[in-house]
Every structure is written in C-alpha cells, then in structure tokens.
C-alpha cells in the first residue's frame, strides 16, 4: 500500500452566533471550504490527480483530515511550513497563496472565522489564519498592531449580528467600524450615539498610509478633547482690549522683569 501522510484543515466560523460543528455546518459553507482545500492541496501543478487522496471528518468545529500520497504531500508540506512567517505569500505556490489570502480576508470580515492547518504526524508546525494574523507578500504594504486613542462622532452603535461602533474620525473624516461585545455596549450608561467621543482601540495600522483595519473597541474614554471656538474668540478679543493701551507689550514684560530677559 502506498505511503500516505495526513494534513488536517480545521474551519472555525459562527452562524447566527453559534460556532459551527461537523453536524451543523451549512451545505454552501461545506462545499466552499472543501473546494478551497482541494485547490490548496493541488496548487498550481497541472495534471495533479487527487483520486488517491481520501478524507475523513473529525470532531471539532469542522475538521477535514486529508490522507495524501506521500509524493503529493511532499509538494504541499514545504509551502505550509513557509506559512510560519506571515510575509511569505510571495514564496508560496501562487494558487495556495490565493487561497490563504481569501481565508485571511474572510477572517477580517467575519467575527470568529479562522482556519487551522495541522500535521497529525508533526511534519510542520501548526498554521493559524485568523483576524489577528496578517498574511501578505514581503513587498506589500506593512501593517502593524497598535493600541491608540481616536476621536470622532458615533454614527451607529449596536448591530444585529455583530456588536460594533461606527465612528467618523474627526481628523480625517473617514469612517471606521470598531467591533465590541454585546455585554460591553449594553453596560454603557451614557448614550454615545451622535456624540463626539474618544475611543481606546486596538487595530492594525498601515505604516505607510495610516489606514486602520481589524479595529476592536477597548473602551470609551469620555468626550473627545475639544474647545469652544466662540469662547476662544471672546477670550482673544478680551485680551486684545486689555493690552490696547500698551504700545510695546514685549518691552512692558521686560520692564516688569527688571529690564532683562531670563
């Protein structure tokens, strides 16, 4: 019997707030993920036959274990090993890289979406693709994890399938969506909707453009710093009147200091 090797592909996802299992996964999601696994395994090689590959579904969210002929596994395992580094997609087979990008983009959009790739025989270290990862080619724009404060106006809050806060940033006018939890938003005593607020967030920030993605709300930290422009103008006018009879304010200050500058 030809030698075989196993590679496990585990999908984690939520449907109507509940994590899927092998018994509850929807038909469309089942077909899509299995199709993507098939493309990942075959890669860009022409004429690769998977007729001798066999599968089993094990307990887990949705865990598909593929038994591959050793010759085919030998073409897949090195690419999976390269995925230990998140800036490796330019060193991975183009078709496999495309599937990883697809999983990464889905993980950023859908809360709880994650794909794990593992070797039961430990031929490579486990790979996880999730909202917290950033798979890209080495020459792509770089994204770094940050925690920061942002100020803006809340234009939407809540959500029917995902708890979040939509904020229009004061500095740029751009709109961001910060994910949160139903419990945290429900426990807020202040009504922040349509108010200017300051948020503490965690996100990935593009080091070249400053764009934010994968934004998570850490805390409301009160109203954003601001000033009353009319009040400021009144203070300026009041100060101008107070100094109106002083011909040279600099000389007057110098005189009060004893005729010299400190």
Q: Where are the domains of the chain?
A: 4-129, 143-220, 232-262
Mean pLDDT within 68-74: 89
Q: Give the pLDDT score at 17.
A: 82
Query: Do residues 159 and 173 touch, judged by C-beta distance below 8 A?
Result: no
Residues with Cβ within 8 Å of residue 4, at least 6 apart in sequence: 54, 67, 68, 69, 70, 73
Residue 258 in tokens: 């004893």
* Torsion 117-120-125-131 (CA) sign: positive
Q: What is the mean pLDDT of residues 112-132?
A: 94
Task: Label residue 262 by pLDDT band (50, 70, 90).
Answer: very low
What mean pLDDT comes out for the span 161-185?
91
**Range 143-220 has CATH code 1.10.3470:** no
Supply the pLDDT for residue 46.
64
**Which tokens in the block code for residue 16?**
């109507």
Question: Would you state the pLDDT for residue 234?
Answer: 67
* Global confidence as pTM: 0.59
Q: Please, are residues 212 and 204 in contact by the beta-carbon 8 Å criterion?
A: yes
pLDDT of residue 225: 56
How far lies 127's CA from each of 36, 37, 41, 199, 252, in Å? 16, 14, 15, 33, 72
| Residue 236, number of CB atoms within 10 A of its CB | 10
pLDDT value at residue 247: 67
pLDDT at 32: 95
What mean pLDDT is predicted for residues 31-35? Answer: 95
Q: Is 42 exposed, middle or buried (0-12, 13-18, 19+ CB in 10 A)?
A: buried
pLDDT in the model for residue 227:
47
> What span, in angstroms and rounded, lies between the C-alpha atoms of 132 and 239?
53
pLDDT at 4: 85
Range of lowest pLDDT (68-77, 191-200, 216-225): 216-225
Coil/strand/helix, residue 88? coil
pLDDT digits (tens, 9 = 90+) for 129-151: 999 999 998 876 677 889 999 99
User: Residue 140: what pLDDT?
Assistant: 67
Top pLDDT among 227 and 152 is at: 152
Condensed to tens digits (0 to 9), the pLDDT of residues 175-201 reads: 999 999 988 999 998 899 999 999 999
């Amino acid at each position: 019997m030809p030698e075989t090797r196993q590679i496990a592909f585990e999908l984690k996802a939520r449907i109507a707030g509940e994590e899927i299992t092998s018994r509850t996964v929807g038909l469309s999601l089942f077909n899509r993920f299995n199709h993507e696994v098939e493309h990942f395994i075959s890669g860009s090689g022409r004429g690769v036959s998977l007729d001798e590959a066999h599968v089993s579904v094990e307990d887990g969210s949705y865990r598909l274990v593929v038994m591959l002929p050793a010759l085919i596994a030998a073409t897949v395992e090195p690419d999976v090993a390269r995925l230990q580094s998140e800036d490796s997609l330019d060193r991975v087979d183009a078709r496999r890289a495309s599937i990883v990008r697809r999983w990464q983009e889905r993980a950023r959009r859908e809360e709880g979406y994650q794909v794990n790739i593992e070797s039961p025989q430990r031929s490579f270290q486990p790979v996880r693709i999730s909202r917290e990862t950033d798979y890209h080619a080495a020459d792509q724009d770089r994204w770094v994890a940050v925690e920061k404060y942002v100020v803006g106006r809340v234009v939407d809050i809540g959500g029917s399938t995902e708890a979040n806060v939509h904020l229009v940033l004061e500095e740029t006018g751009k709109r961001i969506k910060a994910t949160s939890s139903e419990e945290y938003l429900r426990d807020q005593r202040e009504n922040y909707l349509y108010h200017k607020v300051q948020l503490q967030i965690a996100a990935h920030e593009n080091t070249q453009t400053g764009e934010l993605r994968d934004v998570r709300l850490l805390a409301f930290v009160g109203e954003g710093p601001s000033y009353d422009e009319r009040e400021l103008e009144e203070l300026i006018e009041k100060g101008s009147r107070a100094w109106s009879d002083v011909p040279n304010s600099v000389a007057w200050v110098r005189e009060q200091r004893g005729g010299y500058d400190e």
